[in-house]
């Protein structure tokens, strides 16, 4: 029996690598990638993070070296997290001009210049002794508005030390407005805000809490981070952040929330970032170590999928490695 004519043959365009490359709908480039980095006060050598093979808590020196390598690979930017030697109830190291993040920021801002964007995570959980993202009341609740005052002060300290983009990740209501106002008042009208607008209360952050030493000492983050069951709520969060002055918005985690990345991409006209978080990284590394998946292919597939879902910018712990592979 002869086939019906004309026969649709999608396989024609998949026949050779050159054809596949030419017709690819999604492209990944080094500049799309942002590397999250950790710098820790009071260590003499970089410390490997057990649950994230290949990721380190850096010294100031090793951070400079790794940031230089990332920039040389062509990444779009780096986003810095700090781990202070001493934590307290209000996270006072977070906005100390001589705190570890501010010191490291000054190093990177002068080292990197315009080679890559130097950004900062803006939160309190790495700095508080209770591990929460805000000021905690006697009853163990996180006080929204008292926390905003802390975030405003941290934003100014980070901008002063050279952060080009601050990324508030604490999910307090009104945080973008409070930070925008503080930055403008202090003369940092040009410092941009990347809102972690859509941030779920996710089990995928597990390994990060080792890396940043910020596991909550009691309770969890589900009174401020979003319920994984909700999708429409993400658009409300995004529009609030844009109204408050966010320049870019982020969805986090990425892999389990690609539907949300797509909905946000379709709803806004600002750059959309997605954060491939520590648990996504750890799962692929662990399965690859067991020989159960092809590590390199899985990494590139995961990043391509996040871009295909609509993210312009992907935060990933593989940024340097993937950028090298792409260039």
Question: Is the Cβ of residue 22 or residue 260 nearer to ligand PBG in the bound state?
Answer: 260
User: CA-CA distances (angstroms) from residue 318 to 3, 27, 48, 273, 322?
Assistant: 47, 17, 15, 15, 6
Question: Is the Cβ of residue 197 or residue 278 nearer to ligand PBG in the bound state?
Answer: 278
d(CA 136, CA 113): 38
Question: Is the Cβ of residue 75 or residue 123 nearer to ligand PBG in the bound state?
Answer: 123
d(CA 118, CA 276): 18
Question: Is the Cβ of residue 110 or residue 207 nearer to ligand PBG in the bound state?
Answer: 207
Q: Which residues bind ligand PBG (CB under 6 A)?
A: 121, 123, 125, 169, 205, 208, 221, 277-278
Report in angstroms how near the CB of residue 199 gets to ligand PBG at its nearest.
7
Question: Is the Cβ of residue 216 or residue 271 nearer to ligand PBG in the bound state?
Answer: 216
Report in angstroms how near the CB of residue 81 gets to ligand PBG at its nearest.
7
Report in angstroms how near the CB of residue 227 gets to ligand PBG at its nearest.
14
Strand pairing of 56-58 and 47-48? Answer: antiparallel
Alpha helices in the chain (DSSP H): 17-23, 60-73, 100-112, 144-160, 175-185, 206-211, 232-244, 258-267, 278-289, 295-308, 319-326
d(CA 152, CA 246): 14
Is 199 an active-site residue? Answer: yes
The DSSP code for 320 is H
Is 87 an active-site residue? Answer: no
The residue written with tokens 């026969």 in the block is: 7
The DSSP code for 138 is T
Which residues, 6+ apart, have CB-to-CB distance to 6 below 8 Å? Answer: none
Report in angstroms how near the CB of residue 170 gets to ligand PBG at its nearest.
7
Determine which one of 40, 87, 199, 290 is catalytic: 199
Closest chain position to ligand PBG (CB) = 208
Task: Report which of 50, 57, 34 is spatially closest to residue 212, judged by C-alpha positions.
Answer: 57
The residue written with tokens 């609509």 in the block is: 310
- Per residue in 204-241, is it b (16+ CB within 10 Å) or e — as a string? bbebbbbbbbbebeeeebeebbbebeeeeebbebbebb
Report in angstroms how near the CB of residue 321 gets to ligand PBG at its nearest.
16
Question: Is the Cβ of residue 101 or residue 277 nearer to ligand PBG in the bound state?
Answer: 277
Report in angstroms how near the CB of residue 212 gets to ligand PBG at its nearest.
7
Task: Tell me which residues are annotated as active site.
Answer: 199, 252
């Amino acid at each position: 029996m002869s086939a019906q004519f004309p026969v649709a043959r999608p396989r024609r365009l998949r026949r050779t690598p050159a054809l596949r490359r030419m017709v690819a709908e999604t492209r990944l480039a080094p500049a799309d990638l942002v590397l999250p980095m950790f710098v820790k006060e009071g260590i003499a050598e970089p410390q490997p993070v057990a649950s994230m093979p290949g990721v380190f808590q850096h010294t100031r020196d090793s951070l400079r070296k790794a940031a230089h390598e990332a920039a040389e690979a062509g990444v779009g930017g780096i986003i810095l997290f700090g781990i202070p030697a001493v934590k307290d109830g209000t996270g006072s190291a977070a906005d100390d001009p001589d705190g570890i993040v501010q010191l490291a920021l000054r190093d990177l801002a002068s080292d990197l210049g315009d080679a890559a964007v130097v950004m900062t995570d803006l939160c309190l959980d790495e700095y508080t002794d209770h591990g929460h993202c805000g000021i905690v009341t006697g009853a163990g609740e996180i006080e929204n508005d008292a926390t905003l005052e802390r975030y405003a002060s941290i934003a100014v300290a980070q901008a002063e030390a050279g952060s080009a983009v601050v990324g508030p990740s604490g999910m307090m209501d009104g945080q973008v407005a409070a930070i925008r106002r503080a930055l403008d008042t202090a003369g940092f009208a040009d410092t941009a805000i990347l809102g972690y607008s859509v941030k779920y209360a996710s089990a995928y952050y597990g390994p990060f809490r080792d890396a940043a030493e910020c596991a909550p000492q009691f309770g969890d983050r589900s009174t401020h981070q979003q319920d994984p069951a909700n999708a429409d709520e993400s658009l409300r969060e995004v529009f609030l952040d844009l109204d408050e002055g966010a320049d870019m918005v982020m969805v986090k985690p990425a892999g389990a929330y690609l539907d949300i990345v797509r909905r946000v991409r379709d709803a806004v006209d600002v750059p959309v970032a997605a954060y491939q978080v520590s648990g996504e990284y750890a799962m692929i590394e662990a399965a690859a170590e067991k020989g159960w998946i092809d590590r390199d292919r899985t990494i590139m597939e995961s990043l391509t999928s996040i871009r295909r879902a609509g993210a312009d910018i992907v935060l990933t712990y593989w940024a340097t490695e993937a950028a090298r592979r792409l260039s």
